[in-house]
Amino acid sequence: ETGVTQSPTHLIKTRGQQVTLRCSSQSGHNTVSWYQQALGQGPQFIFQYYREEENGRGNFPPRFSGLQFPNYSSELNVNALELDDSALYLCAMMTSLIPNTGELFFGEGSRLTVL
């Protein structure tokens, strides 16, 4: 049990719609990152937030955006959904950036299906 909670667990959207995924932690981890995991693939880094600011981004377009709140919870927003956005979206938290071991605590993910 990692103490990281994601919602919703499953959702279905249609192309062009917008979606918001949420993540929270019971443990006060102050750094949150989001990953996209397509079927049969490893997780791909979307972006990371620290102190409510984005401080790293993977190869994802601007229609993927996020927020981190003062209580360290986070949202991932995806606009103008495309079929290829269908995936498991994983939230991962850790405490501070450096020095630390980089160990991430993952939620169980939100599975998004775009029709």
Partner 1 sequence: AQSVTQLDSHVSVSEGTPVLLRCNYSSSYSPSLFWYVQHPNKGLQLLLKYTSAATLVKGINGFEAEFKKSETSFHLTKPSAHMSDAAEYFCVVSVVRTGRRALTFGSGTRLQVQP
Report the distance separating Cα 82 and Cα 68, nearest Å: 24
The verdict on 56 binding partner 1 (CB under 8 A) reads yes
Closest-CA residue to 73 (of 97, 98, 91): 91
Residue 112 near residue 76 (C-beta atoms within 8 A) = no
Smallest distance from partner 1 to CB 100, Å: 7
The verdict on 4 binding partner 1 (CB under 8 A) reads yes
Judged by CB under 8 A, the residue of 25, 48, 68, 74 near partner 1 is 48
| Residue with smaller CB distance to partner 1, 18 or 54 | 54
The verdict on 39 binding partner 1 (CB under 8 A) reads no
Q: Is 10 exposed, middle or buried (0-12, 13-18, 19+ CB in 10 A)?
A: exposed
* Residues near partner 1 (CB under 8 A): 2, 4, 6, 33, 35, 40-45, 48, 55-56, 90, 92, 94, 97-109, 111
